[in-house]
């Protein structure tokens, strides 16, 4: 069963849109009209951000050196690697010489990474 729509079928949608828009416009206009003429006392300082009464200096969004972030991340990295030494140290006798060579290999990789970042200049704070 085919049903055709003629443009007048969409009239309710137009009416609803008009009511929605009209409500917003009328409300906004009315609040200005009935709001009264007395105004609260406002000052420049009152509109500032509240920073516990301390004067705001500068902007919170400013560029800063990425070096700190780099050093901090590298510290976390090497700091976490230390954790692997603890179980090894506790089971030192059970692992014997095999464990020792394996740990030395791990240490070599770790120090190779350290050598790499050192050569790259990641730890050079002055640059």
SS (H, E, C) 63-86: CCCCHHHHHHHHHHHHHHHHCCHH
Beta carbon of residue 49, minimum distance to another protein (angstroms, whole number): 9
Quick one: DSSP state of residue 126? -
Stretch of 14-22, 36-44, 80-88, 97-105 contacting another protein, by CB under 8 A: 36-44
Beta carbon of residue 57, minimum distance to another protein (angstroms, whole number): 14
Beta carbon of residue 47, minimum distance to another protein (angstroms, whole number): 9
45 or 119, CB closer to another protein?
45
Give the CA count within 13 Å in the CB-facing half-sphere of 31.
Answer: 5
| Site residues (CB under 8 A) for another protein, limited to 52-81 | 52-55
């Amino acid at each position: 069963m085919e049903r055709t729509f003629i443009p007048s079928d969409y009239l309710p949608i137009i009416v609803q849109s008009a009511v929605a828009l009209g409500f917003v416009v009328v409300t906004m206009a009315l609040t200005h009209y009935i709001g009264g003429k007395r105004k609260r006392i406002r000052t420049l300082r009152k509109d500032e951000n509240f920073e516990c009464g301390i004067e705001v200096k500068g902007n919170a969004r400013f560029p800063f050196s990425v070096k700190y972030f780099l050093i901090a991340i590298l510290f976390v990295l090497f700091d976490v690697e230390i954790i692997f030494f603890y179980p090894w140290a506790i089971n030192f006798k059970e692992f014997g010489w095999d464990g020792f060579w394996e740990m030395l290999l791990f240490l070599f990789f770790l120090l190779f990474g350290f050598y790499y970042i050192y050569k790259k200049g990641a730890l050079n704070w002055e640059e």
